[in-house]
Structures are given as C-alpha cells and as structure tokens.
Amino acid sequence: MSIGGKRCLAPFSIGGVSIGSPVVQAALSGYSDRAMRVLARRHGAAYSLGEVLLDKFVAEVGTNRRNLARLAVADEEHPVGGQLMGSNPDDFPPAARRLVAEGYDVIDINFGCPVKKVLGRCRGGYLLSQPATALEIVAKVRDALPPHVPVTLKMRRGLDDSPESLDNFWTIFDGAFARGAAAITVHGRTVKQKYVGPSDWEFLTAVKRHAGDRVVIGSGDLFSAQACVAMLEQTGVDGVSIARGAIGNPWIFRQTLALLAGDPPLPLPTIHEQRDMLREHWQLSMDLHGEQVAGRSMRKFAIKYARVHPEHLAVRDAFIGVKVNDDWQAVLARFYGIDGPGRDSAADIDETADCDSSG
C-alpha cells in the first residue's frame, strides 16, 4: 500500500468506545443477527451492528423467543451497536434504553432505509428530507441515554440529487454532531438510487474533509479487501462498513486487515476452511434461533458461501434445499469432505442483489 497500511490500520473511537481497527461489519437487515456478528468479530471485524429494528418493536418486544433473538447480544461481541428506526421522536427513547439494557454499547439511528413501505411510513431514508424531525430524534436519543453510551447515525448522501437534498444532508450531519452524536456512517448513494449505480466515494471524501476530527465511517461498494483499503485511502474515512461484501464472506475482514498491515493478500479460503466456517456459522445460528429458524436463515448465507466452492452451482443448489441440521451436515459431507483450493468468485459478485433492503 503506497501510503503505508499502518496508518489505515489505526484504531478509532466512537465516543468513549474504542474500535480496534477501521474494519467494521455493517448493519444488515435479515442478516446481521448475533450469529453473523459474532462470526464477524471472531474473524477480524473490530465492531459490528445489528440489523435495523423498529423502535416500537424494541420497546414492546415481549418474551417470544423469536423476537428476543432479534435483540440478543453475546458476551464475546463487544463493542456492538444496535440500530433503531422510527418516525416519531418520542418513540425512540424507550427503545434506545431497552437496547442498552440488552447490552448494546452504541445506539445507531437509521436515516437511510430506501424501502418503499418504510419511506411511506416516514421512517428511515424519508427523514433525510425532514432535518428538524431527524435532529429531534438525535437529541431525544442522546438525552435518554447515559453519557458513556454513544449515539451514532447512518445516513445516505441524500434523498435524491437535488440541491435541497444536499442542504438537508449537511444540516443533519452538522446538527447531529452538535447534538452529541459520536460518529456518522455515510452510504454514498441517495435513497432514490436504492442500490442502482455506484456509491459516490468523492462525496465521502468531501464529507470527511468537512468533518475534520469528527468520526465518519464510509459505506458502499465494499466487495473486497482491496476495495476496503481503497476507500480508506481515497476518502480518508475513519472506518469502512462492510455490508453485502461480508454476506457469506467473513474472510473479508482478515483479508482487509492483512492488506492494511502491508502483508500480501491472503489466499482464498480452502474447501476445508470453508467447511469450518460454515460449521461455525451454523452452530451460532442454531444456538440463537433453534434448528428450524436457523435452517431458513442460513440458506441465504449458504448460497453466498457457495460462491467460493469450485462446484459452486451444485453446492448452491444443494444448500437451497436445507431445512434442518441433518440436511446441513449432509451438504457439508457431500461437497466439503475433500480439501482443495477455493474458487475466485470476484467476477460473479452480484452487486445488485438484495436491493429491497434497509439502508
């Protein structure tokens, strides 16, 4: 790395919470449950965020196992952030306090979700068009929590490409820091853009230049370790929030750390390394959800894990049929028993996948 990866490996802080390296696991609705986060942390992510949760859901979660699993935090995964979404500023404080009681170290507020239903309910990305309400939410969450718990935001670069949208971005960005926000993650796409077209890294550069010492985490198009290093180098952001690039690919965290340390690129995971990761992830998911739900949840990860197997299409098809533990173990026995090199899947990463999602 031309600028010497060591600078990029620098830890940073979100308020009083130390983040050991710039390599972060993003909030991912439908994915970043405790199992995915623990795996990410064990395999190199310095910090991770849970999937976005509706404020009212959190405040009124009850005792149902399935619902409680969505809030669950493991002892080994600190620091971990919990993310909230809603429309009414008064609904946020009880939810934020509940997440802190569950063990979350940082409370993040979602101003990025582009899903139509969410926008229609004046939540997520919609609030980028309502700076006064967005800032009221930030202030109320900040006031509701003890000072040692940082409050952070996730923003897209605007609702759309209009000058008004850009003004609103800066109003929320500066206003949130003025109200005590400790860091802001910026996804370089507009809400209108959803996932079409690139994330604007030049915008991220401008944001970090404007922010100075204030902490900015970058998001968008981080599909490889090389891309993560490039974002850090090109934009100067304090951390990279790896999202789609981490689904079924926990190796990306160590691969990024290696490049940042100035080491040669790590080899692709071998078939046995893939098997071990799949076993670990499955076990974490079973522990969290029980066998039936783990079966459903892990299918969508497994389809992505399959990309680095030399027989990727056959493996993918086999995983699609998995329901319970025996099915999972049978796929591992059939395709992962004999070791060999992994497949380079860089060419077939589907960058438009999962567009109907939350940030």
* Active site members: 113
Q: Given candidates 21, 168, 219, 235, which one binds ligand FMN under the rule CB under 6 A?
A: 219
Residue of 34, 37, 142, 154 interacting with ligand FMN (CB under 6 A): 154
Question: How many residues contact ligand FMN, by CB under 6 A?
Answer: 25
Which x/- pattern, by CB under 6 A, does the window 106-145 give for ligand FMN? ----x-x---------------------------------
Backbone CA torsion sign across 129, 142, 44, 323: negative
* Distance, CA of 309 to CA of 318 (rounded, Å): 12
* DSSP state, residue 173: H
For ligand FMN, which is the closer residue by CB, 108 or 271?
A: 108
CB of 5 to ligand FMN, least distance (A): 20
46 by Cβ neighbours in 10 Å (0-12 / 13-18 / 19+) ranks as: buried
Q: Tell which one of 54, 222, 231, 260 touches ligand FMN (CB under 6 A).
A: 222
| Sign of the C-alpha dihedral computed for residues 143, 130, 169 and 49 taken in this order | positive
To the nearest 5 percent, what fractions of the chain are helix, strand and coil? 50, 15, 35
In contact, 324 and 259? CB cutoff 8 Å: no
Residue type, 231: M
Q: What is the smallest separation between the CB atom of 53 and ligand FMN, expressed in angstroms? A: 8
Nearer to ligand FMN, 23 or 28 (CB): 28
Site string for ligand FMN, 21-60 (x = CB under 6 A): -----xxxxxx-------------------xx--------
Q: How many CB atoms lie within 10 A of CB 338?
A: 7
Crossing angle (nearest 10°) for helices 131-144 and 92-102:
40
Q: Measure the CA–CA gap between 155 and 112, rounded to whole angstroms.
A: 5
Residue selected from 190, 221, 305, 332 as contacting ligand FMN according to rule CB under 6 A: 221
Nearer to ligand FMN by Cβ, of 8 and 247: the residue is 247
Contacting ligand FMN (CB under 6 A), which of 25, 48, 83, 165? 83
Minimum separation from the CB atom of position 111 to ligand FMN (A): 9
CB of 216 to ligand FMN, least distance (A): 13
- Count CA atoms within 13 Å of residue 109 on its CB side: 36
Q: What are phi and psi for residue 210, nearest 5 degrees?
A: -65, -40
Q: Write out the binding residues for ligand FMN, residues 322-351 only, by CB under 6 A.
A: none
200 and 234 Cβ atoms separated by less than 8 Å: no
Q: Which is nearer to ligand FMN, 52 or 72 (CB)?
A: 52
Does residue 323 sit in helix, strand or coil?
coil
Which secondary-structure segment (H or E) carries 24?
Answer: strand 23-25
Q: Is 87 in the site for ligand FMN (CB under 6 A)?
A: no
Cα separation values, 148 from 107, 152, 183, 189, 239, Å: 11, 13, 14, 31, 21
Site string for ligand FMN, 236-275 (x = CB under 6 A): -------xxx------------------------------
**Binding test (CB under 6 A) with ligand FMN, winner from 22, 93, 150, 220:** 220
Q: By C-beta, is 83 or 235 nearer to ligand FMN? A: 83
Report the nearest approach of ligand FMN to the CB of residue 317 (Å). 22
Give the interface with ligand FMN as residue ranges (CB under 6 A). Answer: 26-31, 51-52, 83, 110, 112, 154, 187, 199, 219-222, 243-245, 354, 357-359
